[in-house]
Chain A
C-alpha cells in the first residue's frame, strides 16, 4: 500500500510539473510578410515555441538550422498556414526559407 501511494504521488507530481512547464513556456509569433520575417533575431528560452504565420500569397518552406548545420525541414507552408517550432534545446539557430534565400532570422535559445 505505501508503495502504491508513492507511485501515484510521483506520477501526480510529474504531471503537475509538466503542466506547469507548459504553462510557463511562451509562444512568440513571427509574421512572414513580403517574403520577409517580421524579426531578424529573437531570444527565447528552452521549451518556448515560435509560430511562423505565412501572410503572403505564396508558399514558404521553413528550415531550422543548428550550429552544426543540421537542418530540420518543416516542409511546405501554404499561404495562411502557421508553422509551430518548438525550441527544445539551448543554442543558436538560424531559421530560413528554402525558397526565399534572404528570408532568414536567428533564434538564441537560452
Chain B
C-alpha cells in the first residue's frame, strides 16, 4: 500500500524503534502539492503544468518549469511568490480502530483538517528559484517544515547540443525529480493519515524526508538524457526539533553522506511522452543512534521507473490526457548492528512495485487506479508485526474533480480539488485474512490560493 510515504515509513520505524532519526510525529500527512504562485508568475493556468489542473502530476511544461529552476516568467516583474493550501477530509475505515485513529481522533468516521501549508514558490531571478513549504500538520497538530527544493540553473551546449544544468538544495530524496514515478511526488497525491498503513516501506520511499539535507547537481542534455547526483547528510537533533520534525529518542543515526543518483532517458513527441530511468540511494544508519555495535546498518535502494503520457490535443492545455507511471524499488538491508543489538535478521530484502494510470477529461475530471505491492524477507523485529512478513498489496482508486485552473476559469487566484479515494487491500502486513478491514474511504477537499 502506498499511502502517505512518510506516515507509512514513520509507522514502520516507530513500531520497531530501530531508526530514531526516522521517528517523527507519529502520523504525518502527505505534503500539499499545488502552488498557485507558479501560475501567477508564469501567467499560465494550473492546467498548463498539471495533469487534471491541480496537484503534483506534471505535464511536459511542468517538468520543464521545474528543470529550469522555477524561473520561467511572463515578465511582469518580481513579487514575493507566496501561496497557501488547505486540505480537509473525511476518512472511513472498514473496521474501526480501537483507541482512535490517532490522538484526538475517534475510532472511525473522522473529519479532519489534514494540513495547511504556506509556500515560497517561485523565482528569485532569471537563474534561480525555489519551492519551500512550511506546513501545519492538522493530524499531529504540529507546525513543521515541508518539502524544500532550491535551484540554480545554467544553460549551455555540449557537443553542439543544447543542455541545461543546475544545482539543487533539498530535504527529501526524489523531491527534486521531474517525473511522477519516484516516491516524493507519486500517486496518491494526497492520502488519509487516519487510516491504517502497512508497516514496511523502503527507505527511499519517504523515510528520509525532512530528516536530511542535501546538495545535488543535475543536467538535461538534448531534452532527452538526464543525470543527477546528490549527497545528503542527516540533520542534527536540534535542527529536527527546530523544524518540527521531532525525533522521539536517541541521537540521529545517519552515518556520513547518503548518496542519491538518478539517470533517465525521455522522448517528448507532439502527443506522446516516454521516460525510462533508474534512481537510488545508499545510507548507513546506526539503530537508535547506538554505535556500540561498531558498524552501522546499511540500506541500498535501487529502483527503475517508467512514464508514459498521451496528449489528445497538444494545442490545448485542457486536452484529455492519459498518464501511466510505474516503479520497482529493491532494497538490500545489511543489519549487522540491529542484529547484534535488537535481534533482527542479518540481511533482508524488500521490494516495492507500483503502477498507476489516470485519464484526465478536459483537465476537470481525473479518475486514477493504482496497483501496489510490497514484499520481502520476514523479520518480526525489523517490521514489528506478528509473523514478520512485510507483504502488502492492493489497489487505490480515485476520482478527482477540479472545476477551475483552466484558461477561462473565473478565479485565477484560487483553485480547488474534490476527490474520492478508496484503498483496498489484498494483503496487509503479511496476511490476506482480514486485510480488507484496513480498507479506507477518503474524501478530500484541497484548496489552493495565492496572494
Chain A interface residues toward B at CB < 8 A? 33-36, 55-59, 61, 73, 75-76, 79, 98-102
Does the CB pair B64–A58 fall under 8 Å?
no
Given contacts A57-B315, A57-B316, A58-B407, 8 further A-B contacts (CB under 8 A): A56-B317, A57-B317, A59-B44, A61-B74, A73-B75, A100-B72, A101-B64, A101-B68
Alpha-carbon distance A36/B68, docked complex (angstroms): 16
Is the C-beta of B1 less than 8 angstroms from some C-beta in chain A?
Answer: no
A56 to B407, CA, bound (A): 11
Q: Which of B45, B60, B270, B311 contacts A58 (CB 8 A)?
A: B45
With a cutoff of 8 Å between Cβ atoms, the chain A residues found around residue B223 in the complex are 102
Cα A104 to Cα B311 in complex, Å, equals 21
B73 at the interface (CB under 8 A from A): yes
Q: Using a Cβ–Cβ cut-off of 8 Å, how many residues does chain B contribute to the interface with A? A: 26
Q: Point out the residue from A59, A98, A100 that lies within 8 Å of B61, measured CB to CB.
A: A100
Residue in A73, A75, A79, A98 whose CB lies within 8 Å of B72: A98
Which residue of the partner chain A has the closest CB to B71? A101
A33 touches B74 (CB 8 A): no
Interface residue B42 (Cβ < 8 Å from any Cβ of A): yes
A98 to B316 Cα, complex, angstroms: 19
Closest to A32 in B: B315
CA of A33 to CA of B316 in the docked complex: distance in angstroms?
9
The answer, among A34, A58, A98, A102, for a CB contact under 8 Å with B75, is A98
Query: Shortest CB–CB separation between residue A102 and chain B, in angstroms?
Result: 5
With the chains together, A57 CA to B223 CA distance in Å?
Answer: 24
Closest to A75 in B: B75
Complex CA gap A33/B44 in Å reads 15
Contacts of A55 in B (CB 8 A): 315
Q: Which of B43, B72, B314, B316 contacts A59 (CB 8 A)?
A: B43
In the complex, chain A residues whose CB is within 8 Å of the CB of B245: none
Lowest 4 CB-CB distances: which A-B pairs, in order? A34-B314, A101-B68, A57-B316, A57-B407
Q: Any chain A CB within 8 A of the CB of B48? A: yes
Main secondary structure of the interface of B (DSSP, over half): loop
Residue from the list A36, A56, A76, A101 in contact with B43, Cβ < 8 A: A76
Cβ of A98 and Cβ of B314 under 8 Å apart? no
Nearest to B406 among chain A residues (CB) is A57
For residue B318, CB closer than 8 A to chain A, the reply is yes
Return chain B residues, CB-CB under 8 Å to A98: 72-75
- Contact mask B230-265 → A, CB, 8 Å, 1/0? 000000000000000000000000000000000000
> Which residues does chain B contribute within 8 Å of A33, judged by CB atoms?
314-315
Contact B74 A59 (CB under 8 A): yes
* Residues in chain B near residue A56, CB distance under 8 A: 315-317
6 contacts between A and B (CB under 8 A): A58-B45, A58-B407, A79-B407, A98-B74, A101-B164, A102-B223
The answer to whether B64 and A102 touch across the interface, beta carbons within 8 angstroms, is yes
Looking at B42, B45, B68, B71, the one whose CB has the most chain A CB atoms below 10 A away is B42
**Which of A55, A73, A79, A101 has the most CB atoms of chain B within a 10 A radius of its CB?**
A101
B72 touches A34 (CB 8 A): no
CA distance A79 to B44 in the complex (A): 11
Q: Which residues of B contact A58 (CB under 8 A)?
A: 44-45, 48, 317, 407
Contacts of A101 in B (CB 8 A): 64-65, 67-68, 71-72, 164
Pair B73/A99 contact, Cβ less than 8 Å: yes
Q: Assess A35 versus B74: contact at CB under 8 Å? Given A56-B315, A79-B407.
A: no
In the complex, chain A residues whose CB is within 8 Å of the CB of B316: 56-57
Residue of B with least CB distance to A104? B162
How far is it, in angstroms, between the C-alpha of A100 and the C-alpha of B43 when the chains are bound? 11
The distance in angstroms between the C-alpha atoms of A57 and B311, with both chains bound, is 15
Chain B residue numbers with a CB within 8 Å of A61 are 43, 74-75
**Chain B: CB-nearest residue to A100:** B61
Q: Are B44 and A99 in contact (CB under 8 A)?
A: yes
Collect the chain A residues with CB atoms within 8 Å of residue B44's CB.
58-59, 99
Closest-CB distance, A64 to chain B (whole angstroms)? 14
Residues of A within 8 A of B71 (CB): 101
Report whether B45 and A99 are in contact in the complex, using a CB–CB cutoff of 8 Å: no
Bound Cα distance A7, B42 (Å): 54
Distance between Cα atoms of A56 and B68 in the complex (Å): 21
